Each structure stands twice: as C-alpha cells, then as structure tokens.
A = this chain, B = another copy of it.
Amino acid sequence: MVTQMDVARRAGVGRRTVSNVVTGFPYVSKDVRERVLRAIEELGYVPNRAAQQLRTGRSGVIALTVPEVGVGYFGELGNLVVEEAAARGLGTVVAQTRGSREREITEIERLLALQPDGVIMSPLGLTAEDLAGVSARTEVALIGEHFVGSPIRTIAIDNAAAAGDIVTHLVQSGREHIAFLGMSAASPNFNQLRRRGYLEALERHGIAPVAAVEARDFTSADGYDAGAVLAARLAEGAQLDAVFCVTDEVAIGAMRALHDAGLRVPDDVAVAGFDDIVEGRYANPRLTTVSPDKREIARQAVAAVLGEPADDAQIAYRLELRESTTGIVQPA
C-alpha cells in the first residue's frame, strides 16, 4: 500500500504538504503542488479512508433509503442525492425499502452498521417513534413528506398547496367533475396531503368532489386498474371530465386505461399527476403535473444531513401544464 509518506519522499516534501495538497489546503505553492500531484499519479496513491475517518471522525459516506431505487420519483430523487453527495466528495450507500416498515427497519440497521455520517430517508411505514430512535443514533433528514409532529429536519414541498393549485388549474380550464385517484385514508402522509389539497380546492371553487376511486398502491398497474374502474363508471353514465392522480405513475396507468376504454385524454377526460417524473414528459399525451424542485430537495437533504444550517424551509414547485389537461402539445 502506498502511503502519504511514500508520496512525500518521492516528491521531496514533508508529509504535511502532501496532506495539504490532498485536502485542498490553500497555501501550497503551485510548483510544489504539481510535484506532489505528479508523485501521487506515479505512485498510484489513494488516501486510506479508514485512516481519514479515524482522524476526522467522519466516514465521508451518507446513507439513503427510498421505497424504490432507480424508478419513478424516488429513483430520480435518489440519483440526484447521489450526485449531490458525490459533488461534495461524499459516497452514498442506498437501500431500497419497498415502503414496508419492517424492511425499512432492517435496511436502516444495515446502513447504520456502516456508520455513515448521516442518513436521508423517505419513510413510508416508519412511526414517529422509529424515526426518533434512528435520529438518536445519527444525523437524519427526511424527504418527500412532512412527518407531523416530528422534530426531524424535513425537506418537502407544500403537498396540499400544490395539489390545490393543480385542481384549480383543472377548474379554470372548465372541468367540473374532478375525481381524485389515490390511496385511501390509511395511507402515507403525502397521499393524505394531496387528497386534502384536492378537497379544499374543490370546496373553495364550490364544486362537489366526484366519488373517489381507490388505488391499492402507487404503481402504474394500480393506476391502470383504478382508471379502468373510472372508465366503467363513465360508461354507466357517471359525470366525469377530469382526474387528479396522486402520483405520475398512477396517472400514467390511468391514462392507459382510459385510452384502452376508448376515451380521449384530455378531450373526454383530463388527467393530471404529481411529481414530474420523466416518463410523464414522454407519455402520450404528455402529462400535466406538479414539478417539485428535485435538485434543490437533494441539495438541501444532503446539507441537512451534514448538519449545515437550514436554508429555506419549503421547497419550490411549479405546475407543468401539458397536453393531458390542456390539449396543447409542447416539446418535451
């Protein structure tokens, strides 16, 4: 193994200087820095993480749990977190929890065993108590939804407000029979917030909600099934001209079901989603959705978990009004 000392000898400098170069300490003459860099290159020196960690007390690794890795909203967010961490010279270890409390707990334990500097979570099944237990052991930041009453730092948009905005958009485009397509009351918090935003917005506009259609979960398949139910009700004469889906994936499934039932989106039924996943941008028709500033969420989550002072409490979002509600095709 090549050590700092070897590099120092090769470059004809002190060990301290090598450390300075490696850690980016400013006061090193250009000439010396280059000599050191060359020696590092020639020797193939790689700093020993264990030694760094022992010395600094930081492992340079953060942990991340998401329900699904590499797919949909959390997949995109996860990649951004990994990128953001990498940009700060941090490694990221990721675990996929599938949203069940049990798996969330076992995966967290696995991650904690690696003694990361902090963990970013998108818990779906964990209780406030579980979270308190974890945050007693390491730095924690939550993304995606606020845990009511939890003191843990949380990075999220205002889900209810965003849901309200998109419902308002539907109303203003002349829709009058707007259904919510999501999970039931006993669902993750974000689902409830989005549903509440939907209900409150309708109330503000003096419009009665259409009987809700329940999705089992948040996959496209669930959206498809629920969309099929919706189509059947329409065929039976129910009034319906718009659907607000709890996530883009559900919306994409629902659009497919409506299409299969011979309905046109948005001519017969407008469809809106939430999260702005890439699949929605390339769906046919392109999906109207709420677009949270994911990069900013990732940035703040990493900052939060490193104990950096809080930025803004709330993350920005904007409406992406696309073909599935407007009928207007725009380039992706």
Q: A192 at interface (Cβ–Cβ under 8 A)?
A: no
Per-position contact with B for A69-91: 1 when CB-CB < 8 Å, else 0?
Answer: 11000000000001000100001
Select from chain B the residue with minimum beta-carbon distance to A111: B91
Stretch at the interface among A17-25, A50-58, A151-159, A286-294: A50-58
Contacts of A59 in B (CB 8 A): 49-50
A98, B86: Cα distance in complex, Å: 20
Q: How many copies does the complex hold?
A: 2
Q: When the two chains form their complex, are residues B70 and A96 in contact, meaning their CB atoms are under 8 A apart?
A: yes
Q: When the two chains form their complex, are residues A94 and B94 in contact, meaning their CB atoms are under 8 A apart?
A: yes
Q: When the two chains form their complex, are residues B96 and A69 in contact, meaning their CB atoms are under 8 A apart?
A: yes
Contacts of A96 in B (CB 8 A): 69-70
Within the complex, which residue of B51, B69, B82, B114 is in contact with A61, where a contact is CB–CB below 8 Å?
Answer: B114
Q: A168 at interface (Cβ–Cβ under 8 A)?
A: no
Per-position contact with B for A125-156: 1 when CB-CB < 8 Å, else 0?
Answer: 00000000000000000000000000000000
Q: A259 at interface (Cβ–Cβ under 8 A)?
A: no
Min Cβ gap A114→B in Å is 5
Contacts of A94 in B (CB 8 A): 94
Select from chain B the residue with minimum beta-carbon distance to A86: B110
Contacts of A53 in B (CB 8 A): 49-50, 53
What are 27 pairs between A and B in contact, CB < 8 Å? A46-B115, A48-B54, A48-B115, A49-B50, A49-B53, A49-B59, A49-B114, A49-B115, A50-B50, A50-B51, A50-B53, A50-B54, A50-B59, A50-B115, A51-B54, A54-B54, A68-B70, A69-B69, A69-B70, A69-B96, A70-B96, A70-B98, A82-B110, A91-B110, A91-B113, A92-B110, A93-B114
Question: Which 5 A-B pairs give the minimum distances between C-beta atoms?
Answer: A50-B53, A50-B54, A93-B93, A49-B115, A50-B50
